[in-house]
A and B are shown apart, each in its own frame.
Chain A
Amino acid sequence: QSVLTQPPSVSEVPRQRVTISCSGSRSNIGNNAVNWYQQLPGKAPKLLIFYDDMVPSGVSDRFSGSKSGTSASLAINGLQSEDEADYYCGVWDDSLNTWVFGGGTKLTVL
């Protein structure tokens, strides 16, 4: 059971928009900056979003992040087949005193 709750899977057709949610609590998302990661099959996680909504250099601007209260979201615009991957949210938890991740969301591009 992960501290952060993500939907196990989402799916959408190419060129559409999809959002992935990440629900936490005041001790984690409510108080600290959220990162989002993309993990392609057999690869290491790659940072997509940091500090809730910042996009690292080199990451497509089709990816965006947002946060409200104790929930965060990742949005992907203009879906492409190469976006098929697992997506994880991650954040520091002040109560557990550890970094916590969501359980991951598998994105399928139909």
Chain B
Amino acid sequence: QLQLQESGSGLLKPSQTLSLTCAVSGASISNGNYSWNWIRQPPGKGLEWIGYIFHSGRTHYDPSLKSRVTISVDISKNQISLRLNSVTAADTATYFCARGMKVWGQGTTVTVSS
């Protein structure tokens, strides 16, 4: 059974870099042609798509975040990663990873505060 588990930096100061990992179990990232996505949800607000990566390394990002975002894949560890530079309070959110926008992880909360 496919499971995704997010983890990473929970508390950041403004201007720091957010770094999260999504560990995949129950399936290999290199099998199938799935997009591996990052989505976030600010407290009390709706869902915001951040971007995706395929196992080939092909990426696509939301234009509003493109200048600050990097999504990468590590086939050997069966995980994907998210880096978001120069964070502000507006980046405070729960961050989810999802395969093909269908199977989601439980999410991890990131707070940006001075």
Q: Which A residues fall within an 8 A CB radius of B?
A: 2, 35, 37, 43-47, 50, 56, 88, 90, 96-104
Contact = CB atoms under 8 A, between A and B. Distances in A.
A45 B101 CA distance: 10
A35 B35 CA distance: 15
Interface stretch (B12-20, B26-34, B75-83, B103-111): B103-111
Contact of B49 (A44, A47, A101): A101
Nearest to B4: A44
Contacts of B37: 99
Interface residues of B, number: 17
A46 B104 contact: yes
Contact of A101 (B48, B60, B102, B103): B48
A44 B63 contact: no
B47 A45 contact: yes
Given A45-B47, A99-B37, A99-B49, A50 B104 contact: no
A96 B63 contact: yes
A40 B84 CA distance: 27
B105 A97 contact: no
A24 to B, nearest CB: 15
Given A44-B107, A97-B63, A104 B102 contact: no
Nearest to B102: A47
Given A47-B102, A97-B60, A99-B62, 11 more contacts: A37-B47, A44-B96, A44-B104, A47-B103, A96-B63, A98-B49, A98-B62, A99-B49, A101-B46, A101-B48, A102-B46
Contacts of B49: 90, 98-101
B47 A35 contact: no
8 contacts: A37-B47, A44-B104, A44-B107, A97-B63, A98-B63, A99-B37, A99-B62, A101-B46
A104 B45 CA distance: 9
A10 B102 CA distance: 24
Nearest to A103: B46
